[in-house]
Every structure is written in structure tokens, then in C-alpha cells.
Amino acid sequence: MKKALWYSFLTIVVLLMAVAVFTYVAPHIGWRVNAVLSGSMEPALKVGSLVVTRPVEPEKVKVGDIITFSPVSVGENMITHRVTGVTVNSPVHFATRGDASDKPDPFMVPEQNLIGKICLHIPYWGHFAEFLKTPTGFVLSVVVPGIVVLAMYAVNIWRTLTLQKKQGVAI
């Protein structure tokens, strides 16, 4: 039972560390990991969901895809909406709409504003991912668990060596 708890704990720590590392590394390879901040895409993407956006060629985006793009007006947050139309003139433009809205967005998204296509979303994990992007979040999710795991292994090694010494086993 004790071993099962240990392996469960270790698995959870490793998974959290992997998510933290992916969240940190993803932007360096062109992918984005973000939280859904508004209800414009509900019920498909709930507020607080984690969305992973991968780069995609504008020509490969089709009606029905959910894309993330830089807004046409400067200073706003990125927007994640569903594509409702594609204009294939050069350059490509996308008509978009949030699922929670009856009306299309009042602008066309030019291809240069396209960040990518949503390839994964996980409900409720977005706030955690945003926290991981902070220095404190990174330290708490990667460095501290790493130190804890190393300390636990060091204690196990020490106990094994001590037990062998008491039993008179040559090391």
C-alpha cells in the first residue's frame, strides 16, 4: 500500500512537472498555451479552460475550426473564435464568431494575424497554466517537486546503505 501511494505521488509530480515544462517551452517552438478568459466560446470552451494552439498555414484553416488570432485593433488580448468563413483572395481572410454569440465578429481576420489552430483544450486547467507561466509558478511546479523527489530518493539510498551496513553486507 505504501509503495502504491509513493508511485501515485511520483506519477502526479512528474505529470505536473511535464505540464509546467511544456507550458514554458511551448512558446519557444511556436505553440501557445493559454487560458480562456471570456465566455465568448461557451459551451465549447468554458472560462478557465486550457487551450493549446499550434501554428498552422492559413490555407489549411477551414470553416468550423477554432483559431486564435491577434485582434485587428492594437492593445487587446488574443482572441479565440470559430471560423465561419474563409476568403481565399490574397491574402487569406477569416470571418469568425464566438459560439456564445448570434452575430459574427465585426471584422475580418487577415492571415498575418492568425496565431494558430486549437489542437487541445482541457476544462478548468487554464488558470493553472497561467500560474505556471509566472516565475513563482514555475519554481513551485518544477524546482520544488524536483528537489522533493531527489530528497526522497536520497533518503531511500541512505536507508538502503544503512541497512546493508547493519547486516554486514559489503558495498
* CA 89 to chain CA mean position, Å: 33
Q: Give tens-digit pLDDT for 116-151.
A: 999 999 898 888 888 877 889 878 877 888 888 888
Q: With 80 as the cut, is the pLDDT of residue 171 above it?
A: no
**DSSP-assigned beta bridge partners for residue 104:** none
pLDDT tens, 37-91?
A: 899 999 999 999 999 999 999 999 999 999 999 987 766 788 999 999 999 888 8
Domain boundaries defined on the chain = 1-30+134-171, 35-130
Question: By percentage, how much of the chain surpasses pLDDT 90?
Answer: 43
Q: Decide: 77 and 24 in contact? Cβ < 8 Å.
A: no
Alpha helices in 54-125 (DSSP H): none
Nearest to 85 by CA among 102, 107, 116: 107
The pLDDT tens digits of the residues spanning 147-167 come to: 888 888 898 899 888 888 888
Q: One-letter amino acid identity for 106?
A: P
Model confidence, pTM: 0.72
pLDDT digits (tens, 9 = 90+) for 97-117: 999 999 999 999 999 999 999
Residue 16 has pLDDT above 80, yes or no: no
Query: Measured in whole angstroms, how far is the alpha carbon of residue 30 from the centre of its chain?
Result: 13
73 close to 56: Cβ distance less than 8 angstroms: no
User: Looking at domain 35-130, which CATH architecture does it have?
Assistant: Ribbon (2.10)
